[in-house]
Amino acid sequence: MKVDVNTIVFPLPDNELLEVVERSLRVSFPETYRNFIKGNNGAVPITNKFSYNQREYIIEKFLCILNDSESDPINGWYDIEVIITQIGDRLTDNEDLVGMNVVPIAALFSGDFICLDFRETEEPTVVIWFHEESEEFSPVTQSVAHNVSEFFEMLNE
């Protein structure tokens, strides 16, 4: 996958920050995703299109992980934890859940998100989360890839 290197958000998250976010969300990011975000935090992909079920989707940008989202007035809005704060009740079907089981990682042009779905297994699948159809504790998702690596391979220009 190619990204526009001029859009990478600095500082890049290190292992310590990733572990803090993982503890907060109560998930373990797949190694492929950890490696990606440590080098391409919040980047806009050049290979930003993928097709699924005879429909084409376009990634606006990958979300970022910031130590202090308030210190970055532009990219702070695209911080994973900030997005979760805004839509968290519509990302889970378990109101008693501590942490998250559907974690957004990229914004689509339509207002939907690409997410890691931890509901079935510890190794998350990749899903599209549909914002207009999802309601509180009733997320509407469509699986698009078995894992992050498979999803990255789907992306093209």
Q: Which two tokens stand for residue 151?
A: 């999803």
Q: Are 9 and 76 in contact (CB under 8 A)?
A: no
Q: Give the mean model confidence (pLDDT) for residues 94-98.
A: 89
Residue 105: predicted pLDDT: 98
Nearest to 31 by CA among 148, 157, 153, 122: 148
How many other β-carbons are positioned within 10 Å of the β-carbon of residue 44?
Answer: 16
Mind listing the pLDDT tens digit for each residue in 41-84? Answer: 999 999 999 999 899 999 999 999 999 999 999 999 999 999 99
Q: Is a pLDDT exceeding 90 seen at residue 1?
A: no
Residue 98: predicted pLDDT: 86
N-term to C-term CA, the chain: 9
Residue 9 banded pLDDT, cuts 50, 70, 90: very high
Nearest to 3 by CA among 66, 61, 46: 46
Residue 112: predicted pLDDT: 97
Mind listing the pLDDT tens digit for each residue in 104-136? Answer: 999 999 899 999 999 998 899 999 999 999 999
Nearest to 1 by CA among 53, 42, 36: 36
Residue 7: predicted pLDDT: 97
Q: Give the mean model confidence (pLDDT) for residues 85-91.
A: 94
Residue 123: predicted pLDDT: 92
Backbone angles phi, psi at 140, to 5 degrees: -110, 115
Q: Left, alpha or beta for 60 (phi > 0: left; psi -120 to 50: alpha)?
A: alpha
Q: Any bridge partners for residue 113, and if so which?
A: 107, 129
Classified by CATH at the fold level, domain 3-154 comes out as SMI1/KNR4-like (3.40.1580)
Return the domain boundaries, the chain. 3-154
Average pLDDT, the chain: 96
